Amino acid sequence: MKGVNMRKKKLLVSYFSGIVDVSHGENYSSLLRYFFPELVTNLVIYSLPFLIDSVFIAFLRSTSAYTTLTVTNTILHMLVKMGEGLAVGGLVLIGHYNGLKKFKEAGTVLVDLFWSVVVSAFVVSAILFFGAFWIYSAYRVPAEMIPMGVSFLRLRAIGMFFTFVYFALVGFLRGIKNTRVPMLIFMCGGTVLVLFDYLLIFGNCGFPKMGLNGSAVATLLQYSVMLIIGLCYIFFNNDTKKYGINLLRRVSSWKNVKSIFILAWPVMLDKIAFAGSYIWLGALIAPMGKYVLASYGLIKDMERFALMPAVAFAQIITFLVSNDYGRKDWDGIKTNVKKIVFLASAMVFLVLLVFSIWPEQIAMVFDQKGRFASFSAIVFPILSVLVFFDVLQLILSGAMRGAQQVKTVMWTRFFICFGCFFPLSYTISILPIENSITKFLLLYGSFYVVTGFMSIIYIYRFRGEKWKTPTV
């Protein structure tokens, strides 16, 4: 016991000495200079449009509609992560050829990636469309929500096809070091989403009032527009003509297809394991009733919004570590990690503090009838204390990826999720706990417990020497 306490003391001393270290790593002004553009990008492009979508649905004053939206988004989030992971495989291969200035070969990879994604997207969309009833039944949502969910998910299934195909184009653009165009396209898409949400959900300006289904159609239009803009840029921009892209051509190299999937599967497994945990957790909470399930969706969205600074810092630590890794600046890497953990934790907890001071008022924005706001207001401040573990694992996993420890992150997440979180949370779900607040806290809290385990593994890895040898 004494040895454990000594190790904890040394770890804390090392952490606090790192956050005030001016001899190694970046200074705080530099870290913040990197941070703010990433935060704005994450907020404006990825967070705010979907938050506005949730607010619009909340104004329908239907708990069933809001709960269906949050449940469906949790399911589709995992599939979106799968599509992103598949595109990463093409990105890496395209980037390889682009770096060698073999532009025709890079264009050929895009064609092979495009058709690989089209087939995958068709399969995913077909499963969602024809299996909508069974998906909601397996999720164990209240029976009265299933008809609404089936109609909504089938429309989203069509949109998911365009989402996957768009990711293939983004993979190509990022592979040729063009990050500005995807950002601008996504901003256009976000504008389309918000505009048609307003028009179709409420039936404004002569458009039909579609309610929840209006949100699905708006998302379909969003990614359709983004896909069209992406295709026009690739086909008609002078900078891309040297790649000789012809998407009407069939797959030219099955070796490329194989390479894409080999490169993509570690990223896909990593993302699916983590995103799938939210689906699993929701399925365990669903039998507790519609209002508790709505609270789960609201709390999850509030915490994801609060985590935006940590997500931005996780992207920053990845490229900082990757640069220092090449120079073997081990002290600089560790110091940067400590400083970023400090900054990310402070910012996330500032947002959580604001949410925890006025939890019911914030919840009422999404619960116009006041059906689940009080429940959310009770559990949110308690769960917020545990969010630190998620902040820590986000930063440390980003650092691990920058140190070329991609497989370490992948296997850690996979085994912790499937070997620890799933059995732990299932055991809690079958315990005869009558109090819904206690059961909810234990179930949701178990997720943060396992993210704490992930952090311990990453810390242990960083305190040794093995992380200095790439695993990719």
d(CA 260, CA 89): 4
d(CA 312, CA 316): 6
User: What are the mean pLDDT values of the chain's consecutive 10-residue runs (472 residues total)?
Assistant: 54 76 82 86 77 91 92 90 82 79 86 88 95 93 90 94 91 80 87 94 94 95 94 89 81 77 80 88 93 94 92 86 80 89 94 94 91 94 93 91 81 91 95 94 95 91 79 58
d(CA 74, CA 78): 7
d(CA 408, CA 11): 22
Question: 320-364: per-residue pLDDT in tens?
Answer: 888 787 778 888 888 989 999 999 999 999 999 999 999 999 999
Distances (CA, A) of 263 to 74, 93, 94, 268: 26, 8, 12, 9
d(CA 309, CA 341): 11
Are residues 437 and 375 in contact, defined by beta-carbon separation less than 8 angstroms? yes
Question: 197-208: per-residue pLDDT in tens?
Answer: 999 999 999 999
Q: Helix (H) and strand (E) counts for the chain? A: 19, 0
Name the nearest CA neighbour of 90 among 116, 72, 56. 116
Q: Quote the distance between the C-alpha of residue 256 and its chain's center.
A: 27
d(CA 394, CA 186): 24
Exposure pattern of 413-447 as b/e (b: 16+ CB <10 Å)? bbebbeeebbebbeebbeeeeeebeebbbbbbbbb
User: Dihedral, CA atoms, 82, 86, 87, 93, nearest 10 degrees?
Assistant: 160
pLDDT for res 472:
54
User: Dihedral, CA atoms, 70, 122, 226, 277, nearest 10 degrees?
Assistant: 30
Are residues 271 and 84 in contact, defined by beta-carbon separation less than 8 angstroms? yes
Q: 206 is written with which tokens?
A: 């002569």
d(CA 392, CA 463): 15
Q: 402 is written with which tokens?
A: 């920058």
Name the nearest CA neighbour of 371 among 290, 285, 443. 290
Question: 208-233: per-residue pLDDT in tens?
Answer: 999 999 999 999 999 999 999 999 99
Q: 393 is written with which tokens?
A: 């694992």
Distances (CA, A) of 108 to 85, 116, 126, 230, 258: 20, 12, 27, 17, 14
User: Dihedral, CA atoms, 369, 71, 157, 204, nearest 10 degrees?
Assistant: 20
Phi-psi domain of 172 (left: phi exceeds 0; alpha: psi -120 through 50; beta: other): alpha
Are residues 152 and 210 in contact, defined by beta-carbon separation less than 8 angstroms? no
The residue extents of the domains of the chain are 1-55+289-472, 59-262
d(CA 354, CA 178): 37
Contacts from 118-123 at CB under 8 Å and sequence distance 24+? 118/164, 118/165, 118/168, 120/83, 120/86, 120/164, 121/83, 121/160, 121/161, 121/163, 121/164, 121/165, 122/161
d(CA 142, CA 293): 10
Q: 429 is written with which tokens?
A: 């779900």
Distances (CA, A) of 261 to 41, 100, 246, 392: 29, 21, 21, 30
pLDDT for res 47:
80
- Using CB atoms within 10 Å of the CB of residue 273, give its burial: 0 to 12 exposed, 13 to 18 middle, 19+ buried: buried
- Using CB atoms within 10 Å of the CB of residue 43, give its burial: 0 to 12 exposed, 13 to 18 middle, 19+ buried: middle
pLDDT for res 8:
54
d(CA 318, CA 337): 10
